[in-house]
Structure 1
């Protein structure tokens, strides 16, 4: 298959393009979380089932923000527009901070399918060189973000950050409310995937809040959950992810793989993948 003309908003070393032999008409923008990795293996998996996929590094790359801090939503919107040139439907698929990015982007820019693994229902603060701001900007303005509880300290090694996120949410209700992602504005299909043993942040709580917000607006949301699973999902055929920031993520390889096995049929249906 002849690749589409590349754009220049993400440098070649910071993107990975996967092309299907038999296109299904779906194009996917694929986003990792705080690991900063380019999700090449997952991109290839989706391509084998008919999707055209672009996986990108969205911080720490050439010309990008050095950390998840003041990252422009336009970065993702431009990639979606590029992919839409030759696709019947366009999806954004993100994990962790990438899921936060996916949901925030889909609430502000047209997308047909949004898949969020270990999602957040709010925008979080980010830091670079000691300067705190929002993870995301839109049209040059930082999105409202939840500030972190400065009194928190880890009680385990490696650290479990779930309690940091929970205490930060609960100590500043007004800031939390202002930082809510407007998931009711997301068009099309929304699929959420969450492990009940997520030790990074309360993705199960976040998923419930997203569902409730969309339900109040008359919108349906698909949730796939598995109580023993942690922060990282393993889809059928994927290897166990390694690397990234040192932290406790919860779950186990078998539980995370079970979550992936349960999620795969819903993911494939939402994305219109071939069997």
Structure 2
């Protein structure tokens, strides 16, 4: 299948690199995490598998919110519009970490999304990571908005004492503490995945030191199961937050602990790729 790379900047707040496979009927939107990396390499992986793939820059670009602060979900709806306009009839979102949080929310509010691959996901909405359009990071606000209204979120526990793994801050305990401290807010911030018509494939490691993604994934599976919705979970007790798909070797953060290790992260990624190929 012929492939050509086209870099497109969509009107408004959507930008990125698109690998368009001619005659492809499946379109993949690839969302990176809080690093802000536009994951061109991962998009190329999906293009090589025969899909049209858009590596989306969803914050930090020209005209966009500088941080993950009240990001309009309309940003993702526009990405879906773009792929449909290029002839794609089967829309798949692939998101990692905060990108997984965004992908699940997009599927809840956009029934045109047929499938979501949520890697190291969250089951609730969290507060901002970085500044909003006003350049201010604090006081804390939601990561997301819809129709100009901020979504409910779980606030940060101010009494949390930092924990360390391999000399780096592990934020997993912070997220676990927040869920216990702010139960009412957590209930309101729960992503209603049971309302999404999309098929979900969740990928999570039990050794995730950034946040408890495997616990989040199991919560999603449970709620979706009660609603009779199709959900798949591919997991490993040893993998961390940074799941590596075949051929990937993304750098580890120097600021916080990911958990896991390259071997375990890659092994889970290879296993996940088998399930991902079926969605394509």
| Shorter-chain TM band | over 0.9
- Aligned-pair distance for 1:188? 2.6
- Aligned-pair distance for 1:69? 0.7
**Does residue 1:55 correspond to 2:55, yes or no?**
yes
Q: Is the 8 A contact 2:7 2:17 kept in 1?
A: no
Gaps of 5+ in 1: none
The total of aligned residue pairs comes to 267
Gaps of 5+ in 2: none
Structure 2 match to 1:9: 12
Structure 1 match to 2:143: 135
- Deviations 1:181-213, CA, capped at 9 Å, x for gaps: 010111131100001100000000000111111
Alpha-carbon separation, structure 2, partners of 1:114 and 1:189: 6
- Structure 1 segments, 4+ long, off by >4 Å, are 1-6
- Aligned-pair distance for 1:31? 0.3
Alpha-carbon separation, structure 2, partners of 1:5 and 1:148: 36
- Aligned-pair distance for 1:141? 0.5
Superposition CA RMSD, Å = 1.7
Structure 2 match to 1:97: 98
Structure 1 match to 2:127: 125
Aligned partner (choices 258, 267, 272) of residue 276 of structure 2: 267
Alpha-carbon separation, structure 2, partners of 1:214 and 1:155: 32
Which has the larger strand fraction?
2
Question: How high is the TM-score relative to the length of structure 2?
Answer: 0.91
What's the secondary structure of 2:53's corresponding residue? strand
Q: Is the 8 A contact 1:35 1:245 kept in 2?
A: no
- Aligned-pair distance for 1:67? 0.8
- Deviations 1:136-182, CA, capped at 9 Å, x for gaps: 00001111100011111313231000000000011111111000001
Structure 1 match to 2:258: 249
